[in-house]
Amino acid sequence: MAIAHAIHPLVKLFKAVDISLFPPACPACQKRLNTEESFLCHDCQTSCLQQPTTYCPRCGHAHPATTKQNHLCSHCLTSSPPFNWLKAAGIYQGQLAELLQQFKFHHKTSLASPLADLILHQHQQAIDQFAADAIVPIPLHPQRLRERGYNQAQLIGQQLARHLNLPVNGSLVLRNRPTPPQSTLSLTQRMDNMRSVFYSPEARPSKILLIDDIATTTSTARACSRALTQRGHKVAVLVVARALPRH
Ligand SMILES: [Zn+2]
Ligand SMILES: [Zn+2]
């Protein structure tokens, strides 16, 4: 015990020397960070936070540049989404796509923190106005969780919860069955794939920030939100990146 205590300040000192001699690199471009940059370099942060010129205010779907701002997309016009809004830190392209690939498929779980920071940087005001009671990560089916070893939405949710001082509640919505990865399916198949996938047990109604890493057609976010709103919860959705659907 005494030895552990004696070593501790030395370890701290070595770490401090190490950081000042070899500052950490930007995980997106590998450039050494300067003292004002905490996770991503300034250029990568700016590139990751890009938003479409015009987009649907409810679901964040990118409109063609000629569409007027604040127009609902055809999806939201035909079927009102079960969430107040869905917001993304940026577009699934370039460095943000590269970071998410590393995070999701190459076990770079340390990226949860800078990715959550991007969401907060972009949407702090909307998050404050929504005044949530809890963070709910979109669940993975236990079988998929075993295969991947972690739920990427849960890791981002934990980082957001720490910054926002909110609890993470993973029991408010559950997955009934495993589904094929959405990325392998067409738009219509994605909607069918998600039908009755989520189940929300009875609980006191609350205001929920639902978290995922990527939204494409929003069919997962809609299905999960629907299960929650049917129990009387209010839902707003935060994702790291909004991908453009393939048709
Ligand atoms: Zn960079
Ligand atoms: Zn929309």
- For residue 201, the SS3 value is coil
Rounded to the nearest whole angstrom, what is the distance from the C-alpha of residue 27 to the centroid of ligand 1? 7
Mean pLDDT taken over the chain:
87
Question: Which ligand neighbours the alpha carbon of 52 most closely?
Answer: 2
Question: In 3D, which of 224, 171, 158 has the Cα closest to residue 196?
Answer: 224
When pLDDT is cut at 50, 70 and 90, the band that residue 247 belongs to is very low
Q: Is 135 exposed, middle or buried (0-12, 13-18, 19+ CB in 10 A)?
A: buried
How many angstroms separate the alpha carbon of residue 95 from the centre of ligand 1?
8
Q: Are 205 and 179 in contact (CB under 8 A)?
A: no
Rounded to 5 degrees, what are φ and ψ at 204? -60, 130
Angle between helices 187-194 and 219-229 (to 10 degrees): 30
- 153, two tokens: 């939405």
Task: List, for residues 197-225, the tens digit of each pLDDT value.
Answer: 898 999 999 999 999 999 998 989 999 99
Is 70 exceeded by the pLDDT of residue 193?
Answer: no
How is 50-66 classified by DSSP, letter by letter?
Answer: ---SSB-TTT-PBPPTT
Topology annotation, domain 55-63+75-242: Rossmann fold (3.40.50)
Which tens digits make up the pLDDT trace of 11-66? 665 555 555 566 788 988 889 999 888 889 999 999 999 998 889 999 999 887 77
CA distance 82 to 45: 31
Confidence of residue 158 (pLDDT cuts 50, 70, 90): very high
Helix (H) or strand (E) holding 80: none
pLDDT for residue 197: 86
Confidence (pTM): 0.85
Residue 141 to residue 121: CA distance in whole angstroms: 30
Cα–Cα distance for residue pair 247/238, rounded to 1 Å? 24
Ligand nearest to the CA of 87: 2
Q: Measure 7 CA to ligand 1 centroid, in angstroms.
A: 34
Which residue has better confidence, 237 or 36?
Answer: 237
Q: Which of 67, 47, 40, 66 has the alpha carbon at shortest distance from 56?
A: 67
**Cβ–Cβ < 8 Å for 220, 191:** no
